[in-house]
Structure 1
Amino acid sequence: MITLSNLNCYTIIGIELEFYIEGIEKEYLFLSGVKNKIASLGFSCEKESSIHQYEIKSGCYTDLNDLIKHFELAQELLTETAQKLGGNVSFKAKPYLDRAGSSLNVHVNLVDSNNSNLFYCSKQKYSNCLIHGIGGLCAMMKKHMLLFVPNDDSYLRFQYPDIHTPTTVSWGVNNRTAAIRIPNSSDKCRLEHRVPGADCNLEKVLVAIIEGMVFGIENKVLPPNRVYGVASDPQYKMDSLI
């Protein structure tokens, strides 16, 4: 894994994985079964808005090896639970062209040796670490698309996007149409990388995201203009991801 030792800080990372279940008649049994099994890993599960789509969320991790290990175990438990109920789980990024895609959203914060949030922000100002981190992620985003979109089928998510699928190199505050989202939370400010699909390799995705942030912070890279509306709207002239 890439380290941030030169920056004298460390990452706190959590993930959200969307997926579909197939062939399960009593979905409430799947949800209750999964919740009990993954709770010990620090994961939760809830229904997503699209039919038969669900999402698991991790807690906050400083040890990325533990996050990767627990994530893989959670995926195995999802599959095992679905199969016992006579169905299956799809981790494809776009298993249905007429439904929402499935993403692997990564939430990241940077903390220094005093446990201070380096991504602090206020209504008037965002920290240099946050701005430059976003800048680096945007600068390297197209280079990293091979990791975020690893399979031919992965591109279907961008070719047939729903409103919340990011299709441009962009960022915004509480804007789920942008590739990088900053949730509305000044005291615990973090960034959310929304480009990777559910079929990605988590370790490779984390390496790419950390590499992008380090590049931006070390080189003081400025991001493109913040997007306030739908990031794919041609008026913003954002660079297309594919």
Structure 2
Amino acid sequence: MSTKGFLTQNELEEKVAAGLIETVIVGFTDHYGRLMGKRVDAEYFLDDVLKSGTHGCNYLLTTDMAMEPVPGYTYANWELGYGDFHLVPDLATLRVADWLEKTALVICDVKNEKTHNAENIAPRSILKKQVSQLESDGMQCFAASELEYYLLENSYRQAFEQNYQNLSPAGYYLEDYHIMQGTRNEKFTSTVRRHLKNSGLQIETSKGEWGLGQHELNVKYAEVLPMADNHVVYKQCMKEVADAMGLSVTFMAKFATGQAGSSSHIHMSLWKDGQNAFAGDQEFGPVKGSDLFRWFLGGWIRHVPDVMPFYAPTVNSYKRYVDGSWAPTRLAWSYDNRTAGFRVVGSGPSLRIECRIPGADCNPYLAFAASLASGLEGIRSRIEPPECFVGDIYAAAHLPRVPYTLAEATTLFENSDFAKETFGTEVVAHYTHFFKTEQQAYNTSVTDWERKRYFEQI
């Protein structure tokens, strides 16, 4: 039997025969982390797609946010004719999409149409490569991503027609942990909690956050690949429920100047033989842990500059890193200290590392892959972390800072030997072009800020 919300093949067959499931969404994420794919008739899915997979245009791994084909990629381009890739359902992800009528959802691996090998540049493939290396060492990685978002009383269509100006947040004062403001939004939030729970996600808590209309809904940790899948389902469910209710949510890293940014804090620990491999008796400041814990932490911190665009993939991402805003600005670790880029929490079997650098706009497969790869390199090379910092890290100007812009982060990524050795030169070149394209789109756009500043006064 499957766990609640998930479906075995037999259970899907039974629900299809009973008329309870009529559609199966066959999906994967593009580089932005958006769920792409097809809706497939459920009987056709069982008769054909389940056995043979299906197809998608390979331009989907080269397009910009507006779905325009972007020149300059070697993977797919006009000269090569924009052919197909192969979508292979991962039945471990098959679940009820409870927020949709008579619908199931399955996440696919993206594979080459001819060789049926994994497409190396696909986000899920990148994470699976790191998981495979971890498993070869006899370990597991458990992870969680804490997504924050803003809830708005405007529908997505209204927001678009208003040019995303003068929108109405679903709160009018800072509501961090406030139950009363949470109650006002409970019709939406409770609906999402219920649908996610019925779609295979274990729900923990929901609460108000530090911005106007900002909230967080937490799901239970899982192994790192299923957690990334859950992250995708979470965002898709939340957006579609909001849309159906005439509301909107945004996962922009920085929704408004002067408001708190939205993060996707990553919690991570390694396990071996059913035990947390980070737990130990060695003293690291206020923390007791193992060598694996220390080296993983050291590698994770050291390689942030090498993989920063996987944590912060948009121009907007970098506007979140403001001192005194709850977003980290410097590379340091501390115990239970929210000014740190790396906050160590728990003890014994619950000991874990929380990286507070990723924004809510990250692609979970890429962010988890970057985190895991950095930590594993720390173990292989026995990288020592800096001393545990005590105090206000915002005030510690001597500490190294996270990159200021996407352009800066992309240059570091492009020139990183670590990134090339870890992900492969093909992946680094492909994503470098992707991030540069995103930066160029911003560089050539005229913004509201410019009009307000220069229209009359210059």
Which of 124, 128, 135 does residue 291 from structure 2 map onto?
128
Could you tell me which residue of structure 1 aligns to residue 355 of structure 2?
193
Q: Which moved more, 1:38-47 or 1:214-223?
A: 38-47
1:95 and 2:255 equivalent? yes
Could you tell me which residue of structure 1 aligns to residue 340 of structure 2?
178
Q: Is the 8 A contact 2:331 2:341 kept in 1?
A: yes
1:222 and 2:389 equivalent? no
Q: State the Cα deviation string for residues 184-222 of structure 1 (Å, max 9, x = none).
A: 433311111110000000000011001011000111101
Q: Is the 8 A contact 1:135 1:223 kept in 2?
A: yes
The TM-score, its normalising length taken from structure 2, stands at 0.50
Which of 185, 188, 192 does residue 34 from structure 1 map onto?
192
Equivalent AA in structure 1 for residue 151 of structure 2:
I
* Identity, % of aligned positions: 25
Q: How does 1:48-197 map to 2 (within 5 A)?
A: 48-50=208-210, 51-62=212-223, 64-112=224-272, 114-121=273-280, 124=283, 125-158=288-321, 160-197=322-359
Equivalent AA in structure 1 for residue 274 of structure 2:
N
- RMSD (Å), alpha carbons: 1.8
Equivalent AA in structure 2 for residue 196 of structure 1:
P
- TM superposition shift of 1:72: 1.4
Q: Which moved more, 1:48-57 or 1:23-32?
A: 23-32
Q: Distance in 2 between matches of 1:53 and 1:122?
A: 39
Equivalent AA in structure 2 for residue 35 of structure 1:
R
Could you tell me which residue of structure 2 aligns to residue 19 of structure 1?
149
**Which ranges of structure 1 fall in alignment gaps of 5 or more residues?**
none
Q: Is the 8 A contact 1:101 1:162 kept in 2?
A: no
- TM superposition shift of 1:44: 4.2
Q: Is the 8 A contact 2:289 2:348 kept in 1?
A: no
Q: Distance in 1 between matches of 2:264 and 2:350?
A: 21
Q: Distance in 2 between matches of 1:232 and 1:8?
A: 39
Q: Is the 8 A contact 2:275 2:349 kept in 1?
A: no
- TM superposition shift of 1:122: 5.2
Q: Distance in 2 between matches of 1:181 and 1:106?
A: 10
Q: Which moved more, 1:116-125 or 1:96-105?
A: 116-125
The TM-score, its normalising length taken from structure 1, stands at 0.91
Q: 1:161 to 1:196 in 2, by over 3 A?
A: same
Q: Distance in 2 between matches of 1:70 and 1:5?
A: 21
